[in-house]
Amino acid sequence: MNCINQTPFNPEDPFDKWAHHFKGEVTEVFERARADPSFDLEPGEDLASFIMGGLTAIIGVTFVMTVRDGRDALVGGIVDAIPQARAVAESIIDDEGEDDGPLFGKGRV
């Protein structure tokens, strides 16, 4: 499975439109968690719980959409997409100054 889209962002492209939508949804989930007083994990634990929960959800939802024999290819596609996802995230943070945003109000790891 290929998750990688090498073309520049185009808001009219359905792939880019939905990828952008999902990025926003995941960000909102994390912002709501960080704002909840019961989310009182130590820096590092909060990040680890978000990563584990998020990855489990992504893999679980996509497993439901995939035949059992395709699971290894699916996970391989996720792993292969990580460098591009990192590059996109870094460009968003660098362009929008997100280093100082509300997501980091409780400290960094």
Tell me the two tokens of residue 78. 């996720």
Q: Are 16 and 94 in contact (CB under 8 A)?
A: no
Q: Which of 48, 68, 50 is nearest to 58 (CA)?
A: 50
pLDDT in tens, 62-106: 999 999 999 999 999 999 999 999 998 898 888 766 555 555 455
Q: What share of the chain is helix, strand, coil (3-state, %, to 5)?
A: 70, 0, 30
Residue 12, SS3?
Answer: coil
What does pTM read for this prediction? 0.74
In angstroms, rounded to a whole number, what is the distance separating the alpha carbons of residues 8 and 5?
8
